[in-house]
Structure 1
Amino acid sequence: MFQIKRLGAWLGIFVLLSSLLTACGASSEGSAANSPAPSTTSAQSETNQASAPKERSMTDAVGHQVTIPASPKRAVFHGESLGDLLALGIMPIGAASAFYEGTIFEDKLTSLTDVGFPIHFEKVLELDPDLILIANTDEKIYSELSKIAPTLVVDTFAPLDERLRLMGDIFDKKEEAEQWLTDYHAKEQQLWEQLHSAEIKPGETASVLTYYPGNRLFVMAATGFSQILYQENGFKPTPSIQTVLDAGNGFEEISMELLPEVAGDRIFILTPISEDAVQSTNEMMKSRLWSDLPAVKNGHVYQLPIRLSESDATTREYIIQQLPELLNNKKLESK
């Protein structure tokens, strides 16, 4: 009897445990069925993040093979085309004030550290950059900088489209670079259509002149403001300036006696910063040789600050907006 009761008790416990396990199993299955499936997007994102390269290799303008961050965040830029970065929404942590003082974007650079010109290695080191971009091709300078961070030599005098696409590639902003260029060229085309319908005749020539300290006169070619003027739908260079362009030179020093040869139908004077160069400019514009130029006689001489002749993307965009005003008022002041 005791054994039967004991057996019955064990059977009862067994049944009870079976019921509990069945209930737990059902509950667990119900929870699994009711729980959301793992997010495919989230899983893909985690996979992409895990597989995305943190570094990549690039060849710079002089042939250095350099391993750089896939998406640099703390760059030092030492060169003339700082405005290319700003056009893409990239703010470097360091640059040389010699390249941005007096520019139209100087007031946007309050958080930027001046690393000097020539570049100051200790200041760069203190900034702890993850990338350094420099226009200087001096191998000694490059060697010192490359000890601080990955360093690329960039050609700041390359054509705008080439430079901007390079910055888009370096900073993982290729789409932004292409969109900026598309918008810019549309504005550029609209500008020339507007100017041709108003006053500029097909085939009109133009020259850009400036003085440097030491009474040195230069005609500008494949650089800065000239690059805006010498477009397919824009002004044409004179034959002598075309020779400079064909040689791929940004500018060429000339004597004043060559003015009749280089002067176009319209002359643009880049007002220098140096008092010495300003005085040379004024003396040229008082000379008989100058007064006899057709552009001068026709009132087709225009002046703008040399800082507005920068070739960077930000300045270029500003200038194509201001060119009609310059042609109307004969003079353009700093922003």
Structure 2
Amino acid sequence: MRSTKAILGALLLAAVTLAGCGTTEKPSGGSPENTGAPVTVTDSRGKTVRLPHTAKRVVATEWNAVEDLVSLGVMPVGVADPKGYGQWVSAAPLKGAVTDIGTRGEPSLDTLMSLAPDLVVVTEGLPESALAQIEAKLPVVVIKGGDLKDSIGTMFHGLNTIATATGTGKRATQLKSEFDAKLAEDRKAVEGLGANGEKVAFADAYVASGTVTIRPYTKGSQVSEVFARLGLDNPWPMTGDPAYGLGKADVEGLTRLPDARFWYSANDSEGDPFTEELANNAIWKGLPFVKNGKVQRLPDSLWMFGGPKSMQQYADAAVAALKK
């Protein structure tokens, strides 16, 4: 079975060709809060989507959109791979009966139709063929999965677009305020620990055909931007893809890092390549941050490409890691 990160890697590769410019502008259109009145929203393609009323029955094909919906108080009726979502996203858990619509890359059109949703939310990483099939039958709003030029702004633009479509603008404003307050609080904590300016390299890894592939989260990636707002420095020397800021390296590539803190994400559902496959690797064991005990696995189930609630979890996880 291919890992979630390996599958995501393929999806992100498709997303790179679709990624556009920074999107900090507010989505056009709108509707009164939860009135059920007609609503008009412009999605990330610049396409105007008109709904007869604010969407109540919503399906989402990617987990950032799922997290946004749950955070806004709109429990989706259908989700791609809800089991995987439960393993990777703890910030906004699913509740009640949520239908599995298939994989994130290939959702089932028959299942989507059977749910009679008011709206389907997809990301630009969804293959064009799948998007065309869904859009031929159901109203669709597209949001960006990421944008290296403005990852945090893109995150909130997607949230606001969904809020417009669902009539939950007040809750979106509250989520933004909570995010800003949390990062301000944790930045003070970083300063209080005397850790301002410390170098932190964040990564994850997956194993395919016995080979460990490491994914650096380079400058501009969403998690890296959260850490930067806390006052931490990203020492990765490479540039990541334009959508998500993800790089690619093998264990030899880690020798390019200085003696920084090395934090990584893993999940018990897929194993831990750093403590398993690399445990006896001579290059890994010889890295300065390994020898100096600066390697830390951050808590499981923090989604690296999620919404403001997931990013607040990363801010708290950073402070906790600095205290160790």
Cα offset for 1:249?
4.2
Structure with the greater alpha carbon radius of gyration: 1
Match of 2:7 in 1: none
User: Aligned in 2, Cα 1:262/1:280: closer, same or farther, shift over 3 Å?
Assistant: same
User: Aligned in 2, Cα 1:326/1:238: closer, same or farther, shift over 3 Å?
Assistant: closer
Is the Cα–Cα contact under 8 Å of residues 69 and 131 in structure 1 kept in the other structure?
A: no
Match of 2:115 in 1: 127
* Count, aligned residues: 275
| Correspondence for 1:205 among 199, 203, 210 | 199
Distance 1:106 1:249 in 2: 21
Cα offset for 1:83?
1.4
User: Unmatched 5+ residue regions in structure 2?
Assistant: 1-30
Match of 1:170 in 2: 165
Distance 1:61 1:75 in 2: 18
Q: Is 2:122 the partner of 1:139?
A: no
Match of 1:218 in 2: 215
Instruction: Say which SS state the counterpart of residue 282 (structure 1) adopts.
Output: coil
Query: Aligned residues: percent identity?
Result: 21
Cα offset for 1:307?
3.3
| Correspondence for 1:161 among 152, 156, 167 | 156
Superposition TM-score, scaled by structure 2 size: 0.74
Match of 1:72 in 2: 55
Superimposed CA distance per residue, residues 10-69 of structure 1 (whole angstroms, 9 cap, x where no aligned partner): xxxxxxxxxxxxxxxxxxxxxxxxxxxxxxxxxxxxxx99xx994344332234332224
Is the Cα–Cα contact under 8 Å of residues 61 and 122 in structure 2 kept in the other structure?
A: yes
Is the Cα–Cα contact under 8 Å of residues 223 and 250 in structure 1 kept in the other structure?
A: yes
Q: How does 1:1-335 map to 2 (within 5 A)?
A: 54-81=37-64, 82-96=66-80, 97=82, 99-102=84-87, 103-104=89-90, 108-117=94-103, 118-135=106-123, 136-158=125-147, 159=152, 160-200=155-195, 202-214=196-208, 215-221=212-218, 222-223=220-221, 225-231=223-229, 233-238=230-235, 240-241=237-238, 243-244=239-240, 247=242, 249-262=244-257, 265-272=260-267, 278-279=272-273, 282-304=276-298, 307-310=301-304, 311-329=306-324
Cα offset for 1:145?
1.2
Superimposed CA distance per residue, residues 231-253 of structure 1 (whole angstroms, 9 cap, x where no aligned partner): 2x321111514x338x5542011
Using the TM superposition, name which of 304-313 and 68-77 deviates more.
Answer: 304-313
Cα offset for 1:285?
4.2
Distance 2:258 2:204 in 1: 12
**Which AA in structure 2 matches 1:316?**
M
Match of 2:8 in 1: none
Instruction: Say which SS state the counterpart of residue 50 (structure 2) adopts.
Output: strand
Superimposed CA distance per residue, residues 141-187 of structure 1 (whole angstroms, 9 cap, x where no aligned partner): 22221233211122122533222222222222222212211121111
Distance 2:259 2:78 in 1: 40
**Which AA in structure 2 matches 1:88?**
L
Distance 1:292 1:256 in 2: 11
**Which AA in structure 2 matches 1:206?**
V
Is the Cα–Cα contact under 8 Å of residues 54 and 165 in structure 2 kept in the other structure?
A: yes
Is the Cα–Cα contact under 8 Å of residues 225 and 309 in structure 1 kept in the other structure?
A: no
Higher RCO (Cα < 8 Å, 6 or more apart): 2
Instruction: Say which SS state the counterpart of residue 218 (structure 1) adopts.
Output: strand
Superposed CA RMSD in Å reads 2.9
Is the Cα–Cα contact under 8 Å of residues 302 and 326 in structure 1 kept in the other structure?
A: yes
Distance 2:298 2:42 in 1: 37
**Which AA in structure 2 matches 1:244?**
G
Instruction: Say which SS state the counterpart of residue 278 (structure 2) adopts.
Output: helix
